[in-house]
Structure 1
Amino acid sequence: MPEPTPPLWTAQEIAVATGGRIEGGVFDANGLTYNSREIEPGDLFLALKGARDGHDFAASAFAAGAAGALVERPVDGGPCIVVPDTLHALEALGAAARDRAPHIRRGAVTGSVGKTSVTQAIKAGLDLAGPAHASIKSYNNHIGVPLTLARMHPSVERAVFEIGMNAPGEIGPLARMVQPHAACVTTVGPVHIEAFADGEAGVAAEKAAIFQGLGPGGLAVINGDNPWVELLHQAALRAGARVATFGSEPAHDARLIDFTPNPEGARVTAEVYGRTHVFPLRQSGFHWGLNSLAVILMLDALDVPVETALEALAHFEPLKGRGETRLVHLPKGAFTLIDESYNANPLSMKAGFLSLGAKPVERRGRRVVVLTDMLELGDQSEALHAGLATAIEAAAIDVVHAAGPQMRHLYDAISPERRGVWAGTAAALADQAADLAGPDDIVMVKGSNGSKASLVAAALLRLERDDTGGPPLK
């Protein structure tokens, strides 16, 4: 009989790590969460304080099977560990998880575009190489990063963490908490710039702060095609790190030679550390040419062979709202829906237009984009929205449907023959879904999460169900 897996945490270990006191008895925890609706039997419930006070949900957590709770005051329903501040205690628990398992190779990823998809693609490679751990969803902030660390079982061999930011000064502390052996900046662009007095330069400096977590000899993986490469490179050198670059020039450690979309995704030809590789992707967006190289370099730094990395990339599917492609069947014919509704910024918009423009369409088909506002662009928002018109023209997009006051600037900037439907909100545009797509069209839906582009994507999918009575087909 195999030995049973030890618990993730015992009550005594939690108390030692957090400086808390045990009340109501000891327990073992096999997971942890701050959301009482996500409790699995045996979890530790974290009573964090935010818009709602987590202590008010402790009873629900115990009713759902929580083994114990981390609290600032005793609660009824089960055993507790009482600490002065639950968020600080979570940070301490994350640090303890890191320190008790020094054998685990850790990677970290940030970037203005692509950090979640690149993180999850790295995780796919780690899973093939052995027991692994990673961020889930987009758990990349001051709660998500320590929570992901605290969930890391000492039995795993490798782990990868996503690190994000909305304002200055957030990435450095999180990177120092993770202490990765390798850290990647996918790219830098005008994202969250309204929070930075110096605009994109401030974003670049903030992204470079991920290298503060690297120890001497750690590897910094940098997009060599990005205009901020020198700033990133110098930040990595100040941290005592080694540097590996990926991009399209021969001098890069990982060089993209060719990216050819096809019906299954794409075929990539690349040279990595002097070796040429040709491999398939399930992703068809041109940005995935460089993303795949970032994944390979990070996996190599985490002791995963390149052959394993290529196998993982060959099977890695687009994440929800990040390039999922569906064929939507209607009585008069089908159209292809590319769901990019999870998020958007000027960089990812232009990459999406380029990818859509490269896709072949049937004779009666059109290349269609359905766009909602890009957010957090500050006083540059009007110019950045209107400036997308050039990329739309260059990609030969046939029709632009748009929603939101900022996208109105783009709508007015494009040539009249490309203008489709405009609406004040995504919900209003979703109500007109039947007018947005026709047979053989390829339709990309893209916008910031907060501007609700997902409402339009969902409405387009429902066209099939409403017309045929069946669920959308993949």
Structure 2
Amino acid sequence: MSLWTASEAAEATGGQAQGDWACNGVSIDTRTLQPGDLFVALKAARDGHEFVAQALDKGAAAALVTHLPDGVAENAPLLIVEDVQQALEALGRAGRARLGPQAKVAAVTGSVGKTSTKEMLLAIFGDQGKAHASVDSYNNHWGVPLTLARMPRDTDYAVIEIGMNHPGEIAPLAKQARPDAAMVTNVAAVHLEAFKDVAAIAVEKATIFEGMEPGGVAVINADHDHSDIVLDKALERGLRETTFGQAGHHYKLGEVKVQGDTTVAQAEAEGAPLIFKIDTPGRHFAMNALGALALAEALGADRALAVQSLGRWSPYAGRGVRERIQLDPVDTHLALELIDDSYNANPTSMAAALEVLAASEVTHDIGRVSKGRRIAFVGDMKELGPEALALHAGLADLEATRALDVVHCVGPLMKAFYDNLPEHQRGDWTETAEEMLQGLRSRLDSGDVVLIKGSLSMKLGGIVDAIRKMGHPVPTA
């Protein structure tokens, strides 16, 4: 069964279909387009209409456009609309509307942990039905409608990630998704360039509930300082509230232990004892997992099966995934451990990543340096507003930071962190990640555990790639 026929897409968008086509997917990028996709010619850094001919040559079923692009045959399969972005949103709303009455939609927002929590929910729901979710961090004005437009007709569970950079962005996206349950993972000092303070961020996060009908379920982290703002909004909308966290009333997190490459947590779920594990180290993952369990149960998922699903979950590239890099092709003992958390960074997630590194077990007496080391390469955290330098400098005061052996810093903001470190912990500081690549191998040795963490624009992924190329990556999970 096709995802969209020409007539269905035309009816949904109010556009004019040219040709009798049907598509099996929706794409906005010719680099990842698959044969049979509907290519959406959005305007971003470049006008997508410039790539329509290429998309059709690659096997696109049709293209969503405002006019006949240059180099495209007059009888090419097209869906012609007045505005491509608005048409994509309309297609997404139609995708949501045609789900069966038994299908459930979850939405996830928060300052930290949105993507990891979304992936946990996808793992849970995927083991209990046909599940669909946002790809990567497709959580903005085009990512949410694209996810909805891609949703198969027979979806049982959908998980929609919703993000923001400025006020007023979340509510319109939530109204497109119309979730049956929505979760706010937390509220933290992120995007402060666009907000007065953290309380204002809480107000914006809480607008996710504006897309919900009365009687839906609001899943709220009770541990942050502004949880009352989020809770009040949920109650104002007539939603049923479920809280989680160490201060949670419904799902209460107890002791969390990091044991090697596994995190084990004790908790209470609606008063009943609960033990669950995650196949990756990190206390912050335990909190996200508890919220995921709360939301999954709110939508009818089986708790025992959900716990089993979490036990098999681990993060993917750039978000805390761990790899063993074998530095010698013969002697398998000569290796280091790499923690790739290079996709994003803010004060909360940076502190969590440093805690993971501090708790990691190093290996002694196998490299040229007899002592295995906990080494961090950290880059600037962006969009923190006037407090940016203070927030970076404050990383040096964290208990986790004191447990590290060497910290290398990248970027002008991270210079504040570097300068605030004790002399014995200072590695190198460079303006750019590219400069840090010079002499990288000499900074590392077998037995080390190495964390890479920074905002995506700092391009610390290049350091990750360089470390991988030093040897033979072996997944630890």
Sort the TM-score into its range (normalised by shorter chain). Answer: over 0.9
Q: Please name the residue that 2:192 is paired with.
A: 193
Q: Is the 8 A contact 1:247 1:256 kept in 2?
A: yes
Give the match for residue 396 of structure 1.
Answer: 403
C-alpha separation in 2, matches of 1:271 and 1:181: 24
Look up the equivalent residue of 1:10 and give its one-letter code: T
Q: Which letter maps to 1:193?
A: L
Q: Does residue 1:309 correspond to 2:310, yes or no?
A: no
Distance in structure 1 (CA, Å) of the matches to 2:107 and 2:400: 37
Match of 2:292 in 1: 295
Q: 1:38 is paired with a residue of what secondary structure?
A: coil
Deviation at 1:395, TM superposition (A): 4.7
Give 1:346 deviation, angstroms. Answer: 0.3
**Any idea what the Cα deviations from partners look like across 1:176-221, whole Å, max 9, x if unmatched?**
110100101111111111111x122221111111111121011111
Residue 14 (structure 2) pairs with residue 19 (structure 1): yes
Identity percentage over the alignment?
Answer: 43
Equivalent residue for 2:393, pick from 369, 386, 404: 386
Deviation at 1:118, TM superposition (A): 0.6
* Structure 2: gaps of 5 or more residues: 365-370
* 2:376 equivalent to 1:369: yes
Partners of 2:403 and 2:249 in 1: CA distance: 31
What SS class does the counterpart of residue 129 from structure 1 fall into? coil
CA–CA separation in structure 1 for the residues paired with 2:164 and 2:442: 37
* Partner Cα separation in structure 2 for residue 173 and residue 392 of structure 1: 40
Question: TM-score of the superposition, structure 1-length normalised?
Answer: 0.94
Deviations 1:370-389 (A, max 9, x none): 11111111211110000111
Aligned to 1:136: 135
Structure 1, unaligned runs of 5 or more: 1-5, 465-470
Q: What is the distance in 2 between the residues matched to 1:432 and 1:269? A: 44
Per-residue CA deviations over 1:337-395 (Å, capped at 9, x if unaligned) read: 11111111100111112222222334421222111111111211110000111115665
Q: Deviations over 1:72-102 (max 9, x none)?
A: 1134242112111111111111111111224
Contact 2:395 / 2:401 at 8 angstroms: preserved in 1?
no
Q: What is the aligned partner in structure 2 of residue 241 from structure 1? A: 239
User: How far 1:325 moved relative to its partner?
Assistant: 0.9
Match of 1:30 among 24, 33, 47: 24
Q: Tell me the SS of whatever aligns to 2:383.
A: coil
Q: Structure 1's 221 and 393: CA in aligned 2 closer, same or farther, altered over 3 A?
A: closer
Query: Which residue matches 1:460?
Result: 467
Counterparts of 1:246-325 in structure 2, within 5 Å, are 246-249=244-247, 251-325=248-322
Q: For residue 48 of structure 1, what is the amino acid of its counterpart?
A: L
Where 1:472 maps in the other structure, the secondary structure is: strand
1:93 corresponds to 2:87: no
1:26-82 alpha-carbon deviations (Å, 9 max, x no partner): 111111112122222221111112221111211111111111111111342421121
Report whether the alignment pairs 1:225 with 2:223. Answer: yes
- CA distance, structure 1, for counterparts of residue 232 and residue 286 of structure 2: 25
1:74 aligns with 2:71: no
* TM-score, normalised with respect to structure 2: 0.93
Aligned counterparts of 2:56 and 2:362: Cα–Cα separation in 1: 55
Which residue is 1:433 aligned to?
Answer: 440
Shift, 1:452, TM fit = 1.2
Tell me the residue number matched to 1:7. Answer: 2
Which position in structure 2 is the counterpart of 1:3?
A: none
State the Cα deviation string for residues 131-170 of structure 1 (Å, max 9, x = none): 1111011110000100111111221111010001111110
Q: State the AA in 2 paired with 1:45.
A: F
1:49-68 correspondence runs (5 A) = 49-68=43-62
